Structure 1
Amino acid sequence: MPSETPPMSFAVLLGSVRHQRMGIRAAKLVIRALQARGHEAVLVDPMELQLPLLDRMYKEYAAGTAPAALGQLATLYRRVDGFLIVSGEYNHGIPPALKNLLDHFLEEYFWRPSGIVCYSAGMFGGVRAAVALRTTLAELGMPSISSECPIPRIASALDEDGVPQNEHVSHTLKRFLDEFEWYARALRRQRQDGTPY
Protein backbone atom coordinates (compact mmCIF):
# COMPACT_ATOMS: atom_id res chain seq x y z
CA MET A 1 0.00 0.00 0.00
CA PRO A 2 1.71 3.24 -1.08
CA SER A 3 2.22 5.84 1.59
CA GLU A 4 1.37 9.48 0.97
CA THR A 5 2.69 10.60 4.35
CA PRO A 6 6.08 10.34 6.07
CA PRO A 7 7.01 7.04 7.76
CA MET A 8 5.46 6.38 11.13
CA SER A 9 6.74 4.89 14.35
CA PHE A 10 5.11 2.01 16.20
CA ALA A 11 5.64 0.20 19.48
CA VAL A 12 5.26 -3.57 19.28
CA LEU A 13 4.26 -4.83 22.73
CA LEU A 14 5.04 -8.51 23.32
CA GLY A 15 2.93 -10.22 25.93
CA SER A 16 4.97 -13.19 27.14
CA VAL A 17 7.90 -13.77 29.48
CA ARG A 18 7.99 -17.55 29.10
CA HIS A 19 11.41 -18.93 28.19
CA GLN A 20 10.04 -21.17 25.42
CA ARG A 21 7.62 -18.52 24.16
CA MET A 22 6.32 -18.58 20.62
CA GLY A 23 5.18 -14.97 20.68
CA ILE A 24 8.65 -13.70 19.84
CA ARG A 25 8.15 -15.24 16.40
CA ALA A 26 5.01 -13.18 15.85
CA ALA A 27 6.77 -10.05 17.11
CA LYS A 28 9.62 -10.58 14.63
CA LEU A 29 7.06 -11.06 11.84
CA VAL A 30 5.32 -7.78 12.67
CA ILE A 31 8.53 -5.78 13.09
CA ARG A 32 9.89 -6.99 9.76
CA ALA A 33 6.59 -6.19 7.99
CA LEU A 34 6.45 -2.66 9.44
CA GLN A 35 10.07 -1.99 8.50
CA ALA A 36 9.40 -3.24 4.96
CA ARG A 37 6.67 -0.58 4.76
CA GLY A 38 9.23 2.06 5.71
CA HIS A 39 8.21 2.53 9.35
CA GLU A 40 10.11 2.38 12.62
CA ALA A 41 9.11 -0.57 14.79
CA VAL A 42 10.33 -0.78 18.39
CA LEU A 43 9.97 -4.03 20.32
CA VAL A 44 8.77 -3.68 23.92
CA ASP A 45 9.68 -6.98 25.58
CA PRO A 46 8.66 -7.52 29.21
CA MET A 47 11.24 -10.30 29.53
CA GLU A 48 14.01 -7.79 28.88
CA LEU A 49 12.42 -4.95 30.83
CA GLN A 50 11.75 -6.96 34.00
CA LEU A 51 9.09 -4.51 35.14
CA PRO A 52 7.88 -4.84 38.73
CA LEU A 53 4.37 -6.05 39.40
CA LEU A 54 2.16 -3.00 39.30
CA ASP A 55 2.24 -1.06 42.54
CA ARG A 56 2.17 2.48 41.17
CA MET A 57 1.51 3.69 37.66
CA TYR A 58 4.25 5.72 35.99
CA LYS A 59 2.33 8.95 36.57
CA GLU A 60 2.09 8.23 40.30
CA TYR A 61 5.83 8.45 40.87
CA ALA A 62 7.33 11.76 41.89
CA ALA A 63 9.30 13.35 39.05
CA GLY A 64 12.61 11.56 38.53
CA THR A 65 11.86 8.65 40.89
CA ALA A 66 10.22 6.12 38.54
CA PRO A 67 12.23 3.04 37.53
CA ALA A 68 14.37 3.86 34.49
CA ALA A 69 12.56 1.34 32.29
CA LEU A 70 9.23 3.09 32.92
CA GLY A 71 10.70 6.47 32.00
CA GLN A 72 12.08 5.05 28.76
CA LEU A 73 8.74 3.50 27.88
CA ALA A 74 6.87 6.72 28.63
CA THR A 75 9.17 8.61 26.24
CA LEU A 76 8.70 5.96 23.55
CA TYR A 77 4.92 5.79 23.94
CA ARG A 78 4.52 9.57 23.67
CA ARG A 79 6.30 9.67 20.30
CA VAL A 80 4.84 6.64 18.51
CA ASP A 81 1.86 6.69 16.17
CA GLY A 82 0.28 3.47 17.36
CA PHE A 83 0.65 0.21 19.23
CA LEU A 84 0.68 -3.36 17.97
CA ILE A 85 -0.09 -5.86 20.70
CA VAL A 86 1.31 -9.38 20.28
CA SER A 87 -0.59 -11.68 22.61
CA GLY A 88 -0.96 -15.34 23.31
CA GLU A 89 -4.02 -16.75 25.04
CA TYR A 90 -3.79 -17.81 28.68
CA ASN A 91 -6.91 -19.59 29.93
CA HIS A 92 -9.07 -17.73 27.39
CA GLY A 93 -7.65 -14.43 28.56
CA ILE A 94 -4.81 -11.89 28.53
CA PRO A 95 -1.34 -13.08 29.55
CA PRO A 96 -0.43 -11.65 32.98
CA ALA A 97 2.87 -10.17 31.76
CA LEU A 98 1.02 -8.23 29.07
CA LYS A 99 -1.63 -6.91 31.44
CA ASN A 100 1.11 -5.79 33.83
CA LEU A 101 3.01 -4.10 31.00
CA LEU A 102 -0.09 -2.26 29.79
CA ASP A 103 -1.36 -1.09 33.17
CA HIS A 104 1.74 0.92 34.10
CA PHE A 105 0.60 3.71 31.74
CA LEU A 106 -2.51 5.58 30.66
CA GLU A 107 -2.27 9.07 29.11
CA GLU A 108 0.78 8.00 27.10
CA TYR A 109 -1.51 5.81 24.98
CA PHE A 110 -4.19 8.40 24.24
CA TRP A 111 -5.34 9.23 20.70
CA ARG A 112 -3.41 6.39 19.06
CA PRO A 113 -4.78 3.20 17.53
CA SER A 114 -3.85 -0.29 18.55
CA GLY A 115 -3.94 -3.53 16.61
CA ILE A 116 -4.01 -7.06 17.98
CA VAL A 117 -1.78 -9.84 16.67
CA CYS A 118 -2.80 -12.95 18.56
CA TYR A 119 -1.61 -16.53 18.43
CA SER A 120 -2.03 -19.95 19.96
CA ALA A 121 -0.82 -23.51 19.66
CA GLY A 122 -4.30 -24.55 18.55
CA MET A 123 -6.61 -23.70 15.70
CA PHE A 124 -8.28 -20.54 17.10
CA GLY A 125 -5.19 -18.34 16.98
CA GLY A 126 -5.66 -16.65 20.34
CA VAL A 127 -8.88 -14.84 19.41
CA ARG A 128 -10.39 -15.33 22.87
CA ALA A 129 -7.55 -13.29 24.34
CA ALA A 130 -8.18 -10.66 21.66
CA VAL A 131 -11.80 -10.33 22.79
CA ALA A 132 -10.64 -9.57 26.33
CA LEU A 133 -7.91 -7.24 25.09
CA ARG A 134 -10.33 -5.02 23.16
CA THR A 135 -12.00 -3.84 26.35
CA THR A 136 -8.69 -3.11 28.06
CA LEU A 137 -7.18 -1.28 25.08
CA ALA A 138 -10.27 0.92 24.66
CA GLU A 139 -10.21 1.82 28.35
CA LEU A 140 -6.53 2.74 28.07
CA GLY A 141 -7.30 5.21 25.28
CA MET A 142 -5.84 3.24 22.35
CA PRO A 143 -8.88 1.45 20.90
CA SER A 144 -8.11 -1.49 18.65
CA ILE A 145 -8.95 -1.52 14.96
CA SER A 146 -11.74 -3.86 13.91
CA SER A 147 -9.48 -6.41 12.21
CA GLU A 148 -7.19 -8.81 14.05
CA CYS A 149 -4.25 -10.87 12.88
CA PRO A 150 -4.72 -14.32 14.45
CA ILE A 151 -1.99 -16.90 13.96
CA PRO A 152 -3.21 -20.45 14.62
CA ARG A 153 -0.74 -23.27 15.27
CA ILE A 154 2.07 -20.75 15.59
CA ALA A 155 4.85 -23.33 15.95
CA SER A 156 4.29 -24.47 12.37
CA ALA A 157 2.91 -21.19 10.96
CA LEU A 158 6.10 -19.20 11.66
CA ASP A 159 9.71 -20.30 11.83
CA GLU A 160 12.07 -19.14 14.60
CA ASP A 161 12.80 -15.90 12.71
CA GLY A 162 9.11 -15.13 12.28
CA VAL A 163 9.01 -16.03 8.59
CA PRO A 164 5.55 -17.25 7.51
CA GLN A 165 5.35 -20.86 6.45
CA ASN A 166 2.01 -20.51 4.68
CA GLU A 167 0.19 -17.99 2.48
CA HIS A 168 -2.62 -17.45 4.96
CA VAL A 169 -0.42 -15.66 7.50
CA SER A 170 1.06 -13.32 4.88
CA HIS A 171 -2.35 -12.49 3.40
CA THR A 172 -3.95 -11.85 6.80
CA LEU A 173 -1.04 -9.69 7.96
CA LYS A 174 -1.10 -7.51 4.84
CA ARG A 175 -4.82 -6.71 5.13
CA PHE A 176 -4.47 -6.12 8.86
CA LEU A 177 -1.53 -3.70 8.47
CA ASP A 178 -3.24 -1.86 5.60
CA GLU A 179 -6.13 -1.10 7.96
CA PHE A 180 -3.88 -0.30 10.91
CA GLU A 181 -1.81 2.17 8.85
CA TRP A 182 -5.00 3.90 7.72
CA TYR A 183 -6.10 4.52 11.29
CA ALA A 184 -2.60 5.53 12.40
CA ARG A 185 -2.33 8.14 9.63
CA ALA A 186 -5.80 9.50 10.35
CA LEU A 187 -5.21 9.83 14.08
CA ARG A 188 -1.78 11.37 13.57
CA ARG A 189 -3.38 14.11 11.46
CA GLN A 190 -5.97 14.69 14.14
CA ARG A 191 -3.37 14.85 16.94
CA GLN A 192 -1.48 17.47 14.96
CA ASP A 193 -4.65 19.57 14.94
CA GLY A 194 -5.09 19.13 18.70
CA THR A 195 -6.92 16.72 20.97
CA PRO A 196 -10.10 17.17 23.04
CA TYR A 197 -8.02 17.31 26.27
Structure 2
Amino acid sequence: MSLTVPVILGSVRSDRIGIRAARFLTAQLEARGHTAPLVDPAELRLPLLDRMFKEYPAGTAPEPLQRLAELYRRSDAFLVVSAEYNHGVPPALSNTLDHFLEEYYWRPSAICCYSAGQFGGVRAAMPLRAMLAELGMPSIPSLLPIPRLQKVITAEGAAIEPWLETSTKRFLDELAWYADALRERRQRGTPY
Protein backbone atom coordinates (compact mmCIF):
# COMPACT_ATOMS: atom_id res chain seq x y z
CA MET A 1 0.00 0.00 0.00
CA SER A 2 1.28 3.46 -0.87
CA LEU A 3 2.50 5.63 1.99
CA THR A 4 3.30 9.32 2.43
CA VAL A 5 6.69 9.61 4.10
CA PRO A 6 8.27 13.07 4.31
CA VAL A 7 12.08 12.93 4.31
CA ILE A 8 13.16 15.56 6.83
CA LEU A 9 16.72 16.74 6.26
CA GLY A 10 18.58 18.20 9.23
CA SER A 11 21.37 20.37 7.84
CA VAL A 12 21.50 23.85 6.34
CA ARG A 13 25.27 24.07 5.87
CA SER A 14 26.33 25.32 2.45
CA ASP A 15 28.62 22.31 1.88
CA ARG A 16 26.30 19.73 3.46
CA ILE A 17 26.62 16.15 2.33
CA GLY A 18 23.36 15.00 3.91
CA ILE A 19 21.42 16.14 0.87
CA ARG A 20 22.92 13.10 -0.88
CA ALA A 21 21.32 10.74 1.64
CA ALA A 22 18.01 12.62 1.45
CA ARG A 23 17.98 12.34 -2.34
CA PHE A 24 18.89 8.65 -2.17
CA LEU A 25 16.16 7.85 0.36
CA THR A 26 13.54 9.89 -1.46
CA ALA A 27 14.30 7.95 -4.65
CA GLN A 28 14.21 4.62 -2.77
CA LEU A 29 10.80 5.43 -1.26
CA GLU A 30 9.41 6.62 -4.59
CA ALA A 31 10.67 3.45 -6.32
CA ARG A 32 8.45 1.54 -3.86
CA GLY A 33 5.43 3.60 -4.95
CA HIS A 34 5.40 5.90 -1.92
CA THR A 35 5.15 9.67 -1.85
CA ALA A 36 8.34 11.09 -0.29
CA PRO A 37 8.47 14.89 -0.27
CA LEU A 38 11.76 16.39 0.86
CA VAL A 39 11.51 18.73 3.85
CA ASP A 40 14.63 20.86 3.53
CA PRO A 41 15.20 23.53 6.20
CA ALA A 42 17.59 25.35 3.87
CA GLU A 43 14.71 25.92 1.46
CA LEU A 44 12.01 26.47 4.09
CA ARG A 45 13.98 29.10 6.02
CA LEU A 46 11.81 28.64 9.08
CA PRO A 47 12.19 31.23 11.80
CA LEU A 48 13.83 30.18 15.04
CA LEU A 49 11.11 28.69 17.18
CA ASP A 50 9.13 31.45 18.84
CA ARG A 51 5.68 29.88 18.54
CA MET A 52 4.66 26.38 17.60
CA PHE A 53 2.32 26.04 14.64
CA LYS A 54 -0.62 25.32 16.95
CA GLU A 55 -0.05 28.60 18.82
CA TYR A 56 -0.83 30.77 15.80
CA PRO A 57 -4.42 31.88 15.38
CA ALA A 58 -6.04 29.95 12.50
CA GLY A 59 -4.81 31.20 9.14
CA THR A 60 -1.99 33.36 10.50
CA ALA A 61 0.95 30.93 10.60
CA PRO A 62 3.78 31.61 8.16
CA GLU A 63 3.16 29.89 4.82
CA PRO A 64 5.95 27.28 5.17
CA LEU A 65 4.52 26.18 8.52
CA GLN A 66 1.02 25.93 7.10
CA ARG A 67 2.31 23.86 4.17
CA LEU A 68 4.23 21.53 6.49
CA ALA A 69 1.24 21.09 8.83
CA GLU A 70 -0.91 20.01 5.90
CA LEU A 71 1.77 17.59 4.69
CA TYR A 72 2.35 16.13 8.15
CA ARG A 73 -1.38 15.58 8.80
CA ARG A 74 -1.66 13.39 5.72
CA SER A 75 1.62 11.54 6.37
CA ASP A 76 1.92 7.91 7.43
CA ALA A 77 5.51 8.05 8.72
CA PHE A 78 8.57 10.30 8.84
CA LEU A 79 12.14 9.61 7.76
CA VAL A 80 14.66 11.87 9.47
CA VAL A 81 18.12 12.37 7.93
CA SER A 82 20.51 13.68 10.56
CA ALA A 83 24.14 14.65 10.72
CA GLU A 84 25.99 14.57 14.02
CA TYR A 85 27.00 17.97 15.38
CA ASN A 86 29.14 17.74 18.52
CA HIS A 87 27.69 14.30 19.31
CA GLY A 88 24.17 15.72 19.07
CA VAL A 89 21.24 16.73 16.91
CA PRO A 90 21.86 19.57 14.42
CA PRO A 91 20.15 22.81 15.48
CA ALA A 92 18.37 23.19 12.12
CA LEU A 93 16.80 19.76 12.55
CA SER A 94 15.67 20.48 16.09
CA ASN A 95 14.18 23.78 14.97
CA THR A 96 12.38 22.17 12.03
CA LEU A 97 10.90 19.42 14.19
CA ASP A 98 9.96 21.57 17.20
CA HIS A 99 7.45 23.71 15.30
CA PHE A 100 4.92 20.85 15.40
CA LEU A 101 3.53 18.29 17.81
CA GLU A 102 0.03 16.86 17.24
CA GLU A 103 0.77 16.53 13.52
CA TYR A 104 3.27 13.77 14.34
CA TYR A 105 1.10 11.76 16.71
CA TRP A 106 0.62 8.03 16.19
CA ARG A 107 3.04 7.84 13.26
CA PRO A 108 6.41 6.07 13.26
CA SER A 109 9.68 7.67 12.36
CA ALA A 110 12.95 6.26 11.10
CA ILE A 111 16.43 7.68 11.54
CA CYS A 112 19.11 7.78 8.89
CA CYS A 113 22.24 9.25 10.42
CA TYR A 114 25.45 10.03 8.60
CA SER A 115 28.89 11.50 8.89
CA ALA A 116 31.97 12.14 6.80
CA GLY A 117 33.88 9.91 9.24
CA GLN A 118 33.64 6.33 10.35
CA PHE A 119 30.88 6.48 12.99
CA GLY A 120 28.00 7.34 10.66
CA GLY A 121 26.40 9.89 12.98
CA VAL A 122 25.18 7.30 15.49
CA ARG A 123 25.92 9.51 18.49
CA ALA A 124 23.26 11.94 17.23
CA ALA A 125 20.76 9.13 16.71
CA MET A 126 20.42 8.34 20.40
CA PRO A 127 19.24 11.79 21.57
CA LEU A 128 17.19 12.04 18.38
CA ARG A 129 15.32 8.83 19.32
CA ALA A 130 14.28 10.39 22.63
CA MET A 131 13.25 13.61 20.91
CA LEU A 132 11.14 11.86 18.26
CA ALA A 133 9.38 9.76 20.90
CA GLU A 134 8.57 12.88 22.90
CA LEU A 135 7.14 14.50 19.76
CA GLY A 136 4.78 11.54 19.33
CA MET A 137 6.53 9.75 16.46
CA PRO A 138 8.66 7.05 18.06
CA SER A 139 11.44 5.70 15.87
CA ILE A 140 11.56 2.16 14.57
CA PRO A 141 14.17 -0.09 16.20
CA SER A 142 16.59 -0.08 13.24
CA LEU A 143 18.83 2.80 12.24
CA LEU A 144 20.41 3.46 8.86
CA PRO A 145 23.86 4.85 9.71
CA ILE A 146 25.96 5.92 6.73
CA PRO A 147 29.65 6.42 7.47
CA ARG A 148 31.84 8.28 4.97
CA LEU A 149 28.74 9.46 3.15
CA GLN A 150 30.72 11.35 0.51
CA LYS A 151 32.24 8.00 -0.61
CA VAL A 152 29.00 6.01 -0.48
CA ILE A 153 26.42 8.19 -2.28
CA THR A 154 26.92 10.44 -5.30
CA ALA A 155 25.94 14.12 -5.24
CA GLU A 156 22.85 13.16 -7.26
CA GLY A 157 21.79 10.57 -4.69
CA ALA A 158 22.90 7.28 -6.27
CA ALA A 159 24.41 4.53 -4.12
CA ILE A 160 28.04 3.71 -4.85
CA GLU A 161 28.47 0.89 -2.33
CA PRO A 162 26.29 -2.26 -2.69
CA TRP A 163 25.86 -2.68 1.10
CA LEU A 164 23.83 0.53 1.22
CA GLU A 165 21.03 -0.77 -0.98
CA THR A 166 20.80 -4.00 1.04
CA SER A 167 20.69 -2.13 4.36
CA THR A 168 18.23 0.43 3.00
CA LYS A 169 15.85 -2.27 1.79
CA ARG A 170 15.62 -3.82 5.27
CA PHE A 171 15.34 -0.37 6.88
CA LEU A 172 12.50 0.75 4.60
CA ASP A 173 10.73 -2.62 4.89
CA GLU A 174 10.66 -2.14 8.66
CA LEU A 175 9.44 1.45 8.39
CA ALA A 176 6.66 0.41 5.99
CA TRP A 177 5.57 -2.36 8.37
CA TYR A 178 5.24 0.08 11.28
CA ALA A 179 3.58 2.73 9.08
CA ASP A 180 0.98 0.24 7.82
CA ALA A 181 0.28 -1.06 11.32
CA LEU A 182 -0.12 2.39 12.85
CA ARG A 183 -2.21 3.70 9.95
CA GLU A 184 -4.64 0.83 10.50
CA ARG A 185 -4.83 1.60 14.21
CA ARG A 186 -5.27 5.37 13.63
CA GLN A 187 -8.24 4.61 11.38
CA ARG A 188 -9.88 2.79 14.30
CA GLY A 189 -9.22 5.69 16.65
CA THR A 190 -6.49 6.90 18.98
CA PRO A 191 -6.44 7.26 22.77
CA TYR A 192 -6.99 11.04 22.41
* TM-score interval, normalised by the smaller of the two chains: over 0.9
| Residue equivalent to 1:143 | 138
Q: Does 1:105 align with 2:100?
A: yes
| Residue equivalent to 2:178 | 183
Secondary structure (helix, strand or coil) at the match of 2:117 reads: coil
Kindly state the Cα deviation for residue 30 of structure 1 after the two structures are TM-superposed.
0.4
2:158 and 2:71 map into 1 onto residues whose CA distance is: 27
1:117 and 1:39 map into 2 onto residues whose CA distance is: 18
Kindly state the Cα deviation for residue 172 of structure 1 after the two structures are TM-superposed.
1.0
Q: Does 1:116 align with 2:105?
A: no
Matched to 1:25, the amino acid is R
1:181 and 1:64 map into 2 onto residues whose CA distance is: 33
| Residue equivalent to 2:24 | 29
1:164 and 1:174 map into 2 onto residues whose CA distance is: 12
Aligned length: 192
| Residue equivalent to 2:13 | 18
Q: Which of 89, 93, 98 does residue 84 from structure 2 map onto? A: 89
TM-score (norm 1): 0.96
Kindly state the Cα deviation for residue 64 of structure 1 after the two structures are TM-superposed.
1.2
Kindly state the Cα deviation for residue 133 of structure 1 after the two structures are TM-superposed.
0.2
Q: Which of 146, 154, 158 does residue 153 from structure 2 map onto? A: 158
Kindly state the Cα deviation for residue 192 of structure 1 after the two structures are TM-superposed.
0.7
1:161 and 1:151 map into 2 onto residues whose CA distance is: 16
Q: Does 1:72 align with 2:67?
A: yes
1:69 and 1:159 map into 2 onto residues whose CA distance is: 29
1:162 and 1:39 map into 2 onto residues whose CA distance is: 17
| Residue equivalent to 1:45 | 40
Identity fraction in percent: 63
Kindly state the Cα deviation for residue 195 of structure 1 after the two structures are TM-superposed.
0.7
Unaligned stretches of 5+ residues in structure 2: none
| Residue equivalent to 2:121 | 126
Secondary structure (helix, strand or coil) at the match of 1:117 reads: strand
Kindly state the Cα deviation for residue 79 of structure 1 after the two structures are TM-superposed.
0.1
Unaligned stretches of 5+ residues in structure 1: 1-5
| Residue equivalent to 1:60 | 55
Q: Which runs of 4+ in 1 moved over 2 A?
A: none
2:171 and 2:42 map into 1 onto residues whose CA distance is: 26
1:139 and 1:79 map into 2 onto residues whose CA distance is: 20
- CA deviations on 1:15-72 (whole Å, 9 max, x unpaired) are 0001111010000110000011111101000000000000000001111111011010
- CA deviations on 1:110-139 (whole Å, 9 max, x unpaired) are 000000011001111000010110000000
2:2 and 2:115 map into 1 onto residues whose CA distance is: 31
- CA deviations on 1:96-155 (whole Å, 9 max, x unpaired) are 000000000000000000000110011110000101100000000000000000000001
Secondary structure (helix, strand or coil) at the match of 1:85 reads: strand
